[in-house]
Amino acid sequence: MREYLLPKEEFRTVFVIGKGGVGKTTTSAALAVALAKKGYRTLIVSLDPAHNLGDVFMVKLTDKPKKLAENLYASELDMEKLIKGYLKHLEKNLKNMYRYLTVINLEKYFEVLSYSPGIEEYATLEAVREILVSGNEWDVIVFDTPPTGLTLRVLALPRISLIWADRLIEIRRKILERRRAIAKIQGEQKFVVGGEEITLAKEEEEDAVMKELKAYRSEVEFVERVITDPDRTSVVAVMNPEMLPLYETERAYESLKKFGIPFNLVVVNKVITLEKDIPELRVKLDAQKKVLSGIEKRFRGIDIIRIPMFAEEPRGLEWLEKLGGSVLEG
């Protein structure tokens, strides 16, 4: 049994990454089924905006975990709904400060912000965080991720967000320091906007901006701690025995290493084995051979398993269990 796919002290998080179309969804579904069969309470979540997890299990999934078998639950995140949820939350905040709006015309700023680049990544991160916060409900959480590019950006976000939060906290501290200095000499400072008088916050505990910054920081830090902990997180890369997926997996390996995220297993999916020689496939088989020998060299110290190309699509729980068993047991 591969220890890094099983829960240790707390729940285990497994991110299944890879290029589009290599079999991420099938592999993660198979792994989840095998884990559930072993008695681990398993949740599989699809983060891919183009969902097909439901197709693999042949059921319709929603953003609420649905029980598929004993110990096996699955859900698909609804990105559009997530982003809408964001905007709604924003609208609520906007209404709270409605009386100021006419004075400084904030509406326009918010309108632009809600279409700002990267909102999908942030929404995905937020969704991952919410699942991890209630992670103790599960023994293993398997994330079926969008194609590598987006996933790497999402996994890199906590680190980047922490840097931002720290820098902004630094500036905010300087602002509050100055406000305190002024208040010592001049007394409480007031600020009038829209006929409303506000006392300027000068202590960290009473400053809403600082409180929000610190809350955000601790939320992101939690995700960062979980995904960089080898006892809690594992990344499984799925690839096909072709050059391009190999390059992409290599790049993913390098970036994950940079962010300190544990990368444990490469699943080489759809390896073609032929009993008799077919001249039309000879070029492909040669290329496959080259890639397979290359993998061993490039990913030293990392588990590599080969899954053959099956005569039929691995669908349905039985098939998935068999496939997942070979990923889990080695």
Contact residues for another protein, defined by CB under 8 A: 86, 89-90, 93-94, 96-97, 100, 103-104, 106, 109-110, 112-114, 116-119, 122, 125-126, 157, 160-161, 164-165, 167-168, 171-172, 174-175, 178-179, 181-182, 185-186, 191, 193, 198, 200, 208-209, 212-213, 216
* Between 197 and 275, CB nearer to another protein: 197
Alpha helices by DSSP H, the chain: 24-37, 53-57, 79-96, 98-104, 107-113, 119-133, 148-186, 208-227, 243-258, 282-298, 316-329
Give the residue with the Cβ less far from another protein, 85 or 147.
Answer: 85
State in angstroms the smallest separation of the CB of 302 from another protein. Answer: 31
Least separation in angstroms between residue 103's CB and another protein is 8
> Distance between CA atoms of 125 and 122, rounded to whole angstroms?
5
Residue among 122 and 247 whose Cβ is closer to another protein: 122
Q: Smallest distance from the beta carbon of 43 to another protein, in angstroms?
A: 24
Q: Beta-carbon neighbour count of residue 35 at 10 Å?
A: 27
Residues recorded for the chain: 330
d(C-alpha 220, C-alpha 232), whole Å: 16
d(CA 34, CA 123): 30
- Tokens found for residue 15: 């991110």
H or E segment and range at residue 142: strand 140-144
CB of 58 to another protein, least distance (A): 35
| 283 DSSP β-pair partners | none
Please report how close the Cβ of residue 289 comes to another protein at its closest, in angstroms.
Answer: 44
Distance between CA atoms of 155 and 15, rounded to whole angstroms? 10
At residue 200, the 3 state secondary structure works out as coil
Taking only Cα atoms into account, the Rg of the chain, rounded to an integer number of angstroms, comes to: 24
Nearer CB in complex with another protein: 218/293: 218
The answer to whether 279 and 296 are in contact (CB under 8 A) is no
Kindly tell me which of 53 and 155 has the beta carbon lying closer to another protein: 155
Least Å distance between CB 9 and another protein?
Answer: 29
> Among residues 111 and 137, whose Cβ is nearest to another protein?
111
The residue whose two tokens read 């992670």 is: 135
Q: Which is nearer to another protein, 33 or 210 (CB)?
A: 210
Residue 125 Cβ vs another protein, minimum distance, rounded to whole Å: 8
**Cβ distance to another protein smaller for residue 104 or 244:** 104
Which of helix, strand or coil describes residue 201? coil
Contact 92, 83 (CB under 8 A): no
Least distance to another protein, CB of residue 134, Å: 19
